[in-house]
Structure 1
Amino acid sequence: MSLIERLASALPARVRSAVYDVEKEKRLTLTDGSAWSQLFGKGAASGKRVTLDSAMQLSAVWACIRQTAMVISSLPMGVYEKRADGSRETISDRLAEVLTVSPNADQTAMEYWEGQIAWMMTNGNSYAERTDSRLGLSDLRILPANITSPFRNADGDLMYRTVDRGKQEVLPREKVFHVRGFGFGGDMGLSAISFGVQTMGTALAAEESAGKLFGNGMQISGLLKSNQVLKPEQRVQIREMLQAYSGSEAAWKVMMLEAGFDFEQLSLNPEDAQMLETRRFSIEDICRWFGTPPIVIGHAGDGQTMWGSGVEQIMIAWMNTGLNPLLRRIEGRIRKDIIPPGSRVKRYAEFNREGILQMDSKAKADFLTRLVSNGIMSRNEAREKLNLPRRDGADDLTAQTAMAPVQDLG
């Protein structure tokens, strides 16, 4: 067994794929950072190494990923087929069941899509192993993106390498449902955590510094000055005395110095060091990497409130520029890779963007009222969107009139 294989056997299964890349993929060498960065992360100038696990310890990173994944996974999805007259028909077959109800034996549709969006936000890619039966797609099982990677074989065919129960597997492209995030058109999307290593490394260092600051009872390092030379046993006594006054539980206790000792503070206080300002900027900088407005994760800028029309416009912009591109990527990849080739022109899957209006009852009421009063939607169609039963006589399209003969008013 080679040195690299022995190293791989001692590592968790989720990081073995990177080691196997170096050992078995001849195009990689021990100097290739892309493979080894999955094992040990990337080093930032702050001295912190940034990995998926360490980045997720930052509340801003966690919130950006969580909010985006939860919002998108909660949107209803349907599979439709275009009719000759331009209308569409809802399809309820096995493929629709996999995409919208039960992707696999263990997950609901919301849990599946939440996980896939989370991988896209962190890794830039989401993977799922697909199982097909004689009736078509029957199962989609998430492949963790940190142990799955695409590569081209000697013939130029796209293949996928992953790890299953400690063993490396190679899957052909038709067995993997791969959604790529933002990138330059290659076989992989780009990872925000990998490219934002400096921002997140700085944030990790600031969080650690803040934790140590409070852990020491807000007392910054300083000097104890004495006009006499201390004996070794006296030095031990002084060190034990100082330890009794360290820690947050000892904050605001009064220390007595004797034998001519004076305390001189060396470092700046927290206000002068602008610790809070540094941490505030880190939150906003992290939000840039994930395309999430700070207000979405509960962070308001200076002078900005959490309510009002301005916030509403920010949310609308986030839906259009942040969420919609992710939705279009998923819908396009479903149509290309999952819908059978002969049905792609007419059949497609689509997230219902109107589901976002569920968060604002007034906006949804105004939206439905305008559609019904302008003859675009019947009252029964509007009731269906509110999960209300259909009513007799409410299938006709209606429109408001400014002036009408009295006999036409019924």
Structure 2
Amino acid sequence: MGFFNSWKAKKTKKNTDGWYQLADFLGIDVENTPKSALSNATYYACLKTLSEAIGKMPLKVLSHPTTGGVREEYNHPLWKVLHDRPNAYMPASFFWSTMEFNRNHYGNAYAMIVGAGRDMQLYPLPSSAVELWYDNAHILRDVDDVYYIYAGNDGKRYILSSDEVLHFRNSATYDGIVGKAVKTVLSETINANIKSQKMINNLYDNGFSGKAAVYYTGDLNDDLVKTFSKGIQNFIDGKYEKNGIKNVIPLPISTKMETLANTRLSENQFLELKQYSALQVAAAFGIKPVQIGDYTKSSYASAESQQLSFLVDTLLYIIKQYEEEITYKLITSDKYYAKFNVDVILRADFRNKVETLSTAVNSFMMTPNEARAKLDLSNREGGDVLVGNGASIPITAVGAQYIPNYEEGGKN
């Protein structure tokens, strides 16, 4: 297929920077990515947190069998595609992380659907190279639909219908079709953070010293002034450290240097303002302060509750969107549906996990084998029967100890 060949050509595009090759391979448009935005530590940390959160959750295919309940469909044709490897070039964790990265950074993430069933492949599309059209005038095709027009690396334009593309959008959207990038909403805050970081870098480069005035007697022409000033600046910048000169600036006789202004970050409340800006960026992503390294109001217990809050307040909305889009466009039968396993976000320590599973078994909620599976243990004979009440009485025999001459089946 011409489109797939174009994707492969883009993947193998020569570039001397390894990061650009990796980003290009993952579908991230490095040419049109504002590098200043990604250089902001808080912004990058938020993208990383959300991308890894989606990537670490296994995506499963489940069903509602006629006997009731829910069952994992390991033999479903799409299980391997969704759970293990969406395409031949990346595992599921990288693929879904890439989708989430593009969804936040660009406002929209796209994946092209190729093939069907066990042969299906999902390929990420560069978000900046995709244009959306709602063709109710039948200009592109004879069917009213949202069409995705992709500008391929080979110079061609490919028209894909809505059932050929998985589309995940940011929650900030005016029409429900096209998402708005977080960096666009927070452009002023992110730019302020970038400027503050540049200020810190400049202060480090200048040894945290402000601008200075040099007083000297005599007349110097412009060229000599430049040479004189450059020599002093070289000492300030530490260019003679290799010669053992670090904190000394030699001045000629009758020359005096005076600092114009000292840079006091505390007086300008710089750190407080920088922290406030970082929290603004994190709040826009739905990221908790502890997840960007702000532990000022955190403890171990609150961090655990914040993780639960992160799942409920932030991830559930994102996860629901993924599950709805995948189920609608990839799974044809109403019997099956796709669902992320959110338990990995709330993994408890081994003791709490065992106690929780024991309670579930003793309350007839889970069979012993189902509980063992949660601990990655093998099944045991007789472990598929619901037991409980501490004495491990099968649910079908509850109260039997009070019936004289009880026989299996509830008869006496």
TM-score by length of 1: 0.78
Larger RCO (CA within 8 A; separation ≥ 6): 1
SS at match of 1:327: helix
The Cα of 1:248 is off from its aligned counterpart by: 5.8
> Where does the alignment leave 5 or more consecutive residues of structure 2 unmatched?
1-9, 12-28, 139-143, 394-399, 402-412
Counterpart mapping for 1:94-105 below 5 A: 94-105=77-88
Quote the Cα distance in structure 2 between the aligned partners of 1:177 and 1:261: 70
Please point out which of 148, 153, 173 is paired with 1:165: 153
1:60/1:286 contact within 8 Å kept:
yes
Q: Identity percentage over the alignment?
A: 23
Residue number in structure 2 paired with 1:54: 36
Q: 1:60-80 CA deviation, whole Å, 9 max, x = no partner?
A: 122111122112211122111
2:115 maps to 1:132:
yes
Partners of 1:162 and 1:290 in 2: how far apart? 28
The answer (yes or no) to whether the contact 2:238–2:246 under 8 Å persists in 1 is no
Q: Tell me the secondary structure at the aligned position of residue 244 of structure 1.
A: helix
Q: How many angstroms apart in 2 are the aligned matches of 1:69 and 1:90?
A: 25
Structure 1 position 390 matched with structure 2 position 379: yes
Q: Contact (CA 8 Å) 2:369, 2:379: kept in 1 or not?
A: yes
Q: What is aligned with 1:174?
A: 163
Deviation at 1:138, TM superposition (A): 0.8
CA RMSD of aligned residues (A): 2.8
Letter in 1 for 2:147: M
Among 258, 261, 265, which residue is 1:267 paired with? Answer: 261
Shift of 1:137: 6.6
Contact 1:78 1:90 (C-alpha < 8 Å) held by counterparts: yes
Please list the CA deviations of residues 326-375 of structure 1 after superposition, one character each: whole Å capped at 9, or x if unmatched. 111100111222221xx23x221111112223364344333322211211
Change (3 A) 1:246 1:152: farther
- Measured at CA, do residues 319 and 310 of structure 1 come closer, stay the same or move farther in structure 2, by a change above 3 Å? same
Aligned residues between the structures: 355
Q: Which residue of 1 aligns with 2:76?
A: 93
CA apart distance, 1:233? 5.3
Question: CA 1:243–1:189 in structure 2 vs 1: closer, same or farther (change >3 Å)?
Answer: same
Q: Distance in 1 between matches of 2:148 and 2:123?
A: 14
Distance 1:238 1:224, change over 3 A: same
- Measure, in 2, the Cα distance between the counterparts of 1:66 and 1:75: 14
* Change in CA separation of 1:401 and 1:367 when aligned onto 2, cut-off 3 Å: closer
Query: Cα deviation per residue 1:121-141 (whole Å; 9 max; x = unaligned)?
Result: 2122210010124x4771111
After the TM superposition, which of the residue ranges 150-159 and 119-128 deviates more from structure 2? 150-159
| Alpha-carbon spacing, 1:163–1:189, altered in 2? closer, same or farther (3 Å) | same
CA distance in 2 between partners of 1:103 and 1:157 (Å): 26
Question: What is the CA deviation profile of residues 150-189 of structure 1, one whole-angstrom value per residue up to 9, with x for unaligned ones?
Answer: 1223335311122322423222222111122202443211
The residue aligned with 1:338 is: 330
Where 1:98 maps in the other structure, the secondary structure is helix
Q: Distance in 1 between matches of 2:388 and 2:175?
A: 48
* Structure 1 runs not aligned, ≥5 long: 1-12, 15-37, 42-50
Distance in 2 of aligned mates of 1:360 and 1:352: 18
Partner of 2:359: 370
TM-score by structure 2 length? 0.78
Equivalences for 1:3-402 in 2 at 5 Å? 51-91=33-73, 92-133=75-116, 135=117, 138-153=120-135, 154-155=137-138, 157-167=145-155, 168-182=157-171, 183-232=173-222, 234-247=224-237, 253-271=247-265, 272-301=267-296, 304-305=297-298, 307-340=299-332, 343-344=333-334, 346-358=335-347, 360-401=349-390
What's the CA shift string for 1:385-404, capped at 9, x where partnerless? Answer: 111111123222222359x9
Read off the aligned partner of 1:334 and give its amino acid letter: I
Cα distance in 2, alignment partners of residues 76 and 136 from structure 1? 18
Question: Matches of 2:69 and 2:174 in 1, distance apart?
Answer: 36
Task: Indicate conservation of the 8 Å contact 2:85/2:91, yes or no.
Answer: yes
Q: CA deviation at 1:200?
A: 0.6
* Shift, 1:377, TM fit: 0.6
